[in-house]
Amino acid sequence: MHAESEIREPLIEGNKTYRQISDDIIAPIEGKAARGWYTLITIMALCFLWGIGSLAYTIGVGIGSWGSNNGVDWAWDITNFVWWIGIGHAGTLISAVLLLFRQKWRMAINRSAEAMTIFAVLCAAIFVTLHTGRPWLDYMLFPLPNQFGSLWPNFNSPLLWDVFAISTYATVSIVFWYIGLIPDFAMIRDRVVKPWQKKMYSLLSFGWGGSARHWSRFEEVSLVLAGLSTPLVFSVHSIVSFDFATSIVPGWHTTIFPPYFVSGAVFSGFAMVLTLMLVVRKIYKLEAYVRVKHIEYMNIVIIVTGSIVGVAYLTELFMAWYSGVEWEQYAFLNRATGPLSWSYWIMMSCNVLSPQLFWFKKIRTSIVATFILSIVVNIGMWFERFVIIVPTLCRTYLPSTWNTYTPSFIDVGIFVGTIGMFGTFFLLFSRFFPVIAQAELKTILKASGQQQKLDSAKHAHHASAHN
Q: pTM here?
A: 0.83
Q: Do 98 and 209 belong together in one domain?
A: yes
- Average pLDDT in the chain: 78
pLDDT in tens, 225-255: 888 888 887 888 888 888 888 888 887 887 8
Q: Do 196 and 122 belong together in one domain?
A: yes
- The answer to whether residue 181 sits within a structural domain is yes
Mean pLDDT confidence for 336-345? 84
Q: Do 204 and 263 belong together in one domain?
A: no
Q: Which residues contact 121 (CB under 8 A, 6 or more apart)?
A: 84, 85, 88, 166, 169, 170, 173
Q: Do 296 and 332 belong together in one domain?
A: yes
- The answer to whether residue 160 sits within a structural domain is yes
pLDDT in tens, 18-59: 666 666 666 666 667 777 778 888 888 898 899 889 888 888
Q: Which residues contact 282 (CB under 8 A, 6 or more apart)?
A: 36
- The answer to whether residue 120 sits within a structural domain is yes
DSSP labels for 300-334?
Answer: HHHHHHHHHHHHHHHHHHHHHHHH--HHHHHHHHH
Q: Do 380 and 414 belong together in one domain?
A: no
- The answer to whether residue 300 sits within a structural domain is yes
- Highest-scoring range by mean pLDDT, 153-157, 207-211, 269-273: 269-273
- The answer to whether residue 377 sits within a structural domain is yes
Q: Do 439 and 364 belong together in one domain?
A: no
Q: Do 276 and 190 belong together in one domain?
A: no
Residue 223 near residue 95, CB atoms below 8 Å: no
C-alpha dihedral, 20 to 22 to 27 to 29, nearest 10° = 180
- The answer to whether residue 440 sits within a structural domain is yes
Q: Which residues contact 222 (CB under 8 A, 6 or more apart)?
A: 99, 176, 179, 180
- The answer to whether residue 168 sits within a structural domain is yes
- Domain boundary residue, one of 351, 372, 395: 395
Number of domains in the chain: 2
| Number of Cβ within a 10 Å radius of residue 206 | 12
Question: What is the crossing angle of helices 110-131 and 409-432, to 10°?
Answer: 150
Q: Do 289 and 334 belong together in one domain?
A: yes
Residue-number span of the structural domain to which 177 is assigned: 30-134+154-233+408-448
Q: Do 276 and 417 belong together in one domain?
A: no
- The answer to whether residue 356 sits within a structural domain is yes
Q: Do 377 and 413 belong together in one domain?
A: no
Residue 47 near residue 412, CB atoms below 8 Å: no
